[in-house]
Amino acid sequence: MSAPLWDNPPMNTTLLSGLNPPQLQAVTLPRQSALILAGAGSGKTRVLTTRIAYLISTGAVSPHGILAVTFTNKAAKEMVTRLSAMLPINTRGMWIGTFHGLCNRLLRAHYREAALPQTFQILDSGDQLSAIKRIMKALEIDDEKYPPREMQNFISGSKEQGLRAHDVEAFDPYTRRKVDVYAEYDAQCQREGVVDFSELLLRCFELLSRNESLRTHYQERFHHILVDEFQDTNPLQYQWLKLLAGQHNALFAVGDDDQSIYAFRGANVGNMKDLLRDFKVEAVIKLEQNYRSHGNILDAANALISNNRNRLGKNLWTSEQGGEKLRVYEAPTDVEEANFIVGEIRQLKTEGLKLTEMALLYRSNAQSRVLEHALVSAGLSYRVYGGLRFFERQEIKHALAYLRLMQNTDDDNALLRIINYPTRGIGARSIEQIQDSAKMHGTTLWDAAARAGGKVSAFVGLIEAMRSATSALPLPEIMEHVLVHSGLIEHYQSEKGAKKREAEERLENLKELVTAATLFVHENEDDSLTSFLTHASLEAGEHQAGDQDDALHLMTVHAAKGLEFNAVFITGLEENLFPHQNSQRVDGGLDEERRLMYVAITRARRRLYMSFAQRRMLNGQVSYGAPSSFLKELPEDLLQWLSAREAPRNPFASFGYSAPAAPVQHSVSSTGWRTGQRVMHLKFGEGVITGVEGSGTDGRVQVNFKHAGSKWLALEYAKLTAL
């Protein structure tokens, strides 16, 4: 253990300074279970990390005795970073991580007891779905009647409740069939030595509940368990925590019921009330002072969330009263909404606000397209968070599948993915034969393939050759070898025509994969292939380069939780989009959407824009939407409408309320040009109007050209064509 730092606790002056009374109370609480109700922007992360630092530096516990759980890798990383800044300790060996990451760690350490192969691999949701499809085909189940996606939700959902197939109550034949698939799926995963996300948790839970000595060992070790975003825990996670806490340990849970936005994934806010009961919690501390947002923003958020029932009750306040009003903009179309936003961003930029200080939020990933397009035309740099992650790209998954198969030949999923990619003359017919043979002999596909001849045995030979050629190589070189000898590189290089560009990007990504491997080897003690593959599954999205650039943040509202920005744009505030249509089918769905809106609003420190469009492209066709009902739930006197309300273009739509007309911004000026208009110039080429001055032919316009940059042009001379 590290030297006792608790001889001279300097934290009373530095560590604890600046905490408000409830924060201080939470941080210095004696060892007992507690629930900290921490509102948005109330210093939740600070309290959590400071408490850990406090416990360690006062000698209450050694770093070894702490278990800190978060939901995202980002949050875990943040905690570690802050902690190392507060304390001169090595955070490396500490158990700080996500539920999935920690369970993985535990299962790796006790793989035998958990009945898993040492190098078990993790299926991401895509892998899981294809595994399920495979099972369904084998069981000859009609995928019209049983959509694979639904099956996936059923299986994951059951696991998140802590239910194995035989635990699920099936009263009707329909459900019984699903249970069959669940059971068969689990058996298949076991055969192949793979686990899905929820299996990590369930397997870990079962391991601890069955194995008393192991359970006791960890219970005695983790004297203090701290959980972030407790409102997002599902029943299984809660049971897992209970198990580790045992009778004697303290569970320090931090959460905000108003920010519970993952019920669709099995999260159960009810866990907060259960915690109070199960742990006989006496310390409920509310952090209600918000240090983030101006008063108007907070007032709007509070007004909105007050429409929800069954809240634990919290009153968020700030000493920063007032501030700007919330700006609301109604655009005719999604494209014009995007152009408006671009205009505002430019303005904010000239006022000195950095792009990184601004965020563009939307309800669903598909909405980023239009926004991105406008940003590209305007030459503004941005960064999309979430969406398709690096390790989820098909070329990356293909490359990794080779590695997985090389390491674990039982992995049928991996084999099927690459046996004919790139194409090597093994078609559907051959694959079927292999599957039949495997079934008949009761072996894995790999063994069946090894028995076959011709092209199939050539494939088997290829994998084996790669394995022996790379067995002694460091990770990045293994990677390179596989990329070349699998034929992936050549395959993408030979792509031409329409797919050329796409293939080039894929090649770039493959190169990037080698870089990622190199980086991984440098940063991790355990630089084994298994470890890297685990990293790829568990931290698929964390791979973000160029964070230091001044770039705008684009992300879903979900992804924005926990973040804050000086200026925030909430876009697509239309009924059926936000709140989302599908939420109406679910019990309590609207309340969850409202909490989501609450999260969105409370991301903003100073300025908040909310916009919507009368018309937008949705699923490939034009749709007309009414303004989001959430806008009506915001106090009118906190809002500033930026657009005059035009008559709705849709004769069938009638928006039930009107707002005071405000000066129109970005309207067509007397020059005949308006900002956001795409134009063509004979010499400079394509561009977008970003500013208009003067009137008639005396005026001039500012155009940002794709290639020639930004220029002011006198209308009298410049020949501009509208695009």
Judged by the rule CB under 7 A, the positions of this chain that interact with DNA are 71-73, 98-101, 124-125, 133, 147, 149, 197, 261, 264-265, 363-366, 386, 420, 423-430, 538, 540-541, 555-556, 558-559, 580-583, 586, 589, 617, 619-620
The answer to whether 294 and 323 are in contact (CB under 8 A) is: yes
Is 260 labelled as part of a ligand binding site? no
Q: Find the shortest distance in angstroms from Cβ 95 to DNA.
A: 15
SS (H, E, C) 9-48: CCCCCCCCCCCCHHHHHHHCCCCCCEEEEECCCCCHHHHH
173 burial level (CB within 10 Å; 0-12, 13-18, 19+) = exposed
User: Residue 387: is it exposed, middle or buried by C-beta count within 10 angstroms (0-12/13-18/19+)?
Assistant: middle
165 labelled binding-site residue: no
Task: For residue 710, give the H/E element and its range.
Answer: strand 709-714
At its nearest, how many Å lie between DNA and the CB of residue 541? 5
Largest CA distance in the chain: 86
Separation CA 345–CA 553 (nearest Å): 12
Q: Which is nearer to DNA, 126 or 635 (CB)?
A: 126
Q: Is 609 exposed, middle or buried (0-12, 13-18, 19+ CB in 10 A)?
A: buried
Contact 102, 69 (CB under 8 A): yes
Which of 493, 582 has the CB closer to DNA?
582
Q: How far is the CB of 578 from DNA (least distance, A)?
A: 9
Tokens for 440, please give them: 């008949």
Residue 608 main-chain phi, psi, to 5 deg: -135, 125
Residues in the chain: 723
- 44 has binding-site annotation: yes
Question: Catalytic residue numbers?
Answer: 44-45, 228-229, 259, 603
Burial 551-577 (b: 16+ CB within 10 A, else e): bbbbbbbbbbbbebbebbbbbbbbbeb
Which helix (H) or strand (E) segment holds residue 329: the answer is strand 326-333
- Strand partners of residue 692: 701
Q: Which residue is listed with tokens 């980023």?
A: 368
Beta-bridge mates of residue 283: 34
Closest approach, Cβ 592 to DNA, in A, equals: 7
Indicate the residue among 149 and 441 with the shorter CB distance to DNA.
149
The DSSP call for residue 630 is: H
Nearer to DNA, 197 or 684 (CB): 197
38 is in an annotated binding site: yes
Residue 18 C-beta: closest distance to DNA, Å: 30
CB 312 within 8 A of CB 37: yes
Question: How many whole angstroms separate alpha carbon 50 and alpha carbon 72?
Answer: 19
Whichever of 457 and 582 has its CB closer to DNA, that residue is 582
> Side-chain half-sphere of 118: how many Cα atoms within 13 Å?
3
Which residue shows structure tokens 């100073």? 606
Nearer to DNA, 346 or 580 (CB): 580
* Between 188 and 365, CB nearer to DNA: 365
In whole angstroms, how close is the CB of 376 to DNA at the nearest point?
A: 14
Backbone angles phi, psi at 330, to 5 degrees: -105, 120
H or E segment to which residue 678 belongs: strand 678-681
Q: Would you call 621 helix, strand, or coil by DSSP?
A: strand
39 annotated ligand binder:
yes
Tokens standing for residue 1? 């253990």
589 is in an annotated binding site: no
What element of type H or E holds 468?
A: helix 454-470
Say if residue 45 carries a ligand binding annotation. Answer: yes
Residue 161 C-beta: closest distance to DNA, Å: 14
Q: Are 239 and 261 in contact (CB under 8 A)?
A: no
Q: Are 327 and 642 in contact (CB under 8 A)?
A: yes
- DSSP for 256-279, please give it: -GGG---GGGT--THHHHHHHHHT
Question: Which residue, 64 or 424, is less far from DNA as judged by CB?
Answer: 424
Check if the beta carbon of residue 590 is closer than 8 Å to that of residue 597. no
Task: Give me the least distance between CB of 107 and DNA, in Å please.
Answer: 15
Show the tokens assigned to 466.
């790669």
On whether 40 is known to bind a ligand per the annotation, the reply is yes
**Smallest distance from DNA to CB 42, Å:** 22
* Region of residue 334 (phi > 0: left; psi between -120 and 50: alpha; otherwise: beta): alpha
Q: Rank residues 98 and 293 by Cβ distance to DNA and give the closer one.
A: 98
**Measured between alpha carbons, how far is 71 from 227 in angstroms, rounded to an integer?**
9
Q: How far is CA 73 from the centre of its chain?
A: 10
Cβ neighbours around 290 below 10 Å, total: 23
| 469 membership: H or E segment, kind and range | helix 454-470
CB of 203 to DNA, least distance (A): 14
Task: Indicate the residue among 99 and 532 with the shorter CB distance to DNA.
Answer: 99
How many secondary structure helices (H) and strands (E) does the chain include?
26, 21
Closer by beta carbon to DNA, 237 or else 675: 237
| Residues placed in the known binding site | 38-45
| Residues placed in the known binding site for ATP | 38-45
